[in-house]
A = this chain, B = another copy of it.
């Protein structure tokens, strides 16, 4: 018996993962590895990805139809891009059993909660919004691996209607994946992740996109070093997923984008005026904040 099973007594007879990508696939693999799930059904849009998921043992059965798949499920994880969640929720709502718990892996929470409140109807009390702070720039079932969530934070956002039993199950499942579970308010969540995740993705996508538009892009990028590579690693992330996140978290993101362009404008002015003091100020502030709050955390 695994230690996760011993600790929580967690046993999931049937898990359904809707969207068998990096997030959903890794959730399945982690729970399988922890020995707390009996059977995993995967739901996907493309035969190719579902075939890969079956071949790699990420799922035990493959479905194209979510409503069929969720019958008799103990736990359902919606692991699609957030833009597809309303459709998925509308599809599964009539088929959900009275004890089935639903969670999601979406990077924005206010909009997902609004969808669920509207579309899951009576099942809303068994919906536990969650957001695992984990990912790589790869996507698809083949990118999934059981350690993705190990020592990572997972934010859960229980609502007033959420039943304690549902929240307990979802918390125990993420903990069985090796994650630390933190509870946040939905609005606070969206503001925090607009700053530390959504904005950095837009910054990186825009940087490579701008360089790629140039006629000398190939030559330029051929001279790049490790600095650019790391800076734009996340520009390899799923365009569809990030399109949905940007639109879903629009208000918080726009405010931060404005703050960021203001900061670039400050840098621009300092460079134009050869104002070394202003540049040193900005660069020192960045270096200090990084070493104080980003590096320490990682150690």
Contact = CB atoms under 8 A, between A and B. Distances in A.
Contacts of A136: 226
Interface size class of A (residues with CB under 8 A): 35 or more
A237 B227 CA distance: 10
A297 B246 contact: no
A146 interface: no
Point out which of A136, A152, A267 has the most chain B C-beta atoms below 10 A from its C-beta: A267
A234 interface: yes
Interface in A257-299: 257-268, 270-272, 274, 276, 279-280, 282-291, 293-295, 297-298
B205 A286 contact: yes
Contacts of A222: 293, 297
A206 interface: yes
A267 B245 CA distance: 13
Contact of A254 (B219, B261, B268): B268
A203 B188 CA distance: 26
* Copies of this chain, count: 2
Given A203-B207, A203-B231, A254-B272, A294 B221 contact: yes
B232 A286 contact: yes
A193 interface: yes
Given A196-B221, A235-B287, A206 B294 contact: no
Nearest to A152: B225
Contact of A219 (B192, B229, B262): B192
A162 to B, nearest CB: 22
A210 B272 contact: no
Contact of A196 (B225, B276, B285, B289): B225
20 contacts: A192-B223, A196-B228, A197-B228, A200-B207, A202-B267, A203-B203, A208-B289, A209-B282, A210-B260, A210-B262, A211-B289, A212-B288, A212-B289, A232-B290, A236-B287, A237-B283, A239-B287, A242-B283, A257-B264, A261-B265
Q: 3 closest pairs, A vs B, by CB? A: A239-B283, A212-B289, A208-B286
